[in-house]
Amino acid sequence: MQCELCGMGSSGCRPALVDGVRMMLCPGCMKHGKSVKDVAPVDVQKSILGRIKRPRERDVYVEMDTKLVSGWNDLIKRARKEKELSREKLGFNIGERTITISKIENGDLRPSDEVVGKLEKELGITLVEKAKEVPNIPSGSRPGSGLTLGDFLKTENK
């Protein structure tokens, strides 16, 4: 049999625990581990699973009750100019790069919720509004089918 620690072939290899791992060790390497006879049996799977941190399950849709106001990019640009801030200074104040501020103002980049909060605080503006509930309208054209995109657009235009 071969020692799993040093690799030497030895007929006297015995089972041992090294840092919680069961290994076959030669008599010379036994000083690095504890003989399995001396140690209470360890359920390795339970000890590993006990140390794994599981993320909390949460409903991400609970936080989706707000949306950006229409024309949010123009509102940001106007408020920045009223405060007489350059894009560089605004970016510095809220911890964002100048190119990010530029893309947000041009409407090429939607700001994250965190950046929206920073912009609202720095510029003294409101960028989010309460989202309207999506109406639950049964589709009359096909039985058993749900709301179609056409049904939704018809209700939005009314």
Tell me the pTM: 0.48
Ranges in the chain, pLDDT < 70? 38-51, 59-63, 133-146, 155-158
Output the pLDDT for position 35: 82
Number of domains present in the structure of the chain: 2
Distance from C-alpha of 87 to C-alpha of 83, rounded to nearest angstrom: 11
Mark whether 35 and 72 lie in a shared domain: no
139 inside domain: no
Output the pLDDT for position 150: 77
Summarised one tens digit per residue, pLDDT across range 23-69 is 888 888 888 888 877 545 555 556 666 667 777 777 666 667 788 89
Distance from C-alpha of 66 to C-alpha of 75, rounded to nearest angstrom: 17
Output the pLDDT for position 146: 67
10 inside domain: yes
The domain in which residue 6 lies consists of 1-39
Distance from C-alpha of 81 to C-alpha of 104, rounded to nearest angstrom: 14
Q: What is the DSSP string of 13-50?
A: -EEEEETTEEEEE-TTTGGGSEETTTS----HHHHHHH
Q: Which DSSP category does 121 fall into?
A: H
- CATH code at position 125: 1.10.260.40
Output the pLDDT for position 139: 47
Helices (H), 36-108: 44-51, 72-82, 87-94, 98-106
Output the pLDDT for position 63: 65
Mark whether 12 and 69 lie in a shared domain: no
87 inside domain: yes
Output the pLDDT for position 55: 73
119 inside domain: yes
Please count the helices (runs of H) and the strands (runs of E) in the chain: 6, 5
Mark whether 68 and 126 lie in a shared domain: yes
Tell me which residue of 27, 122, 118, 127 sits closest to 82, measured CA to CA: 122
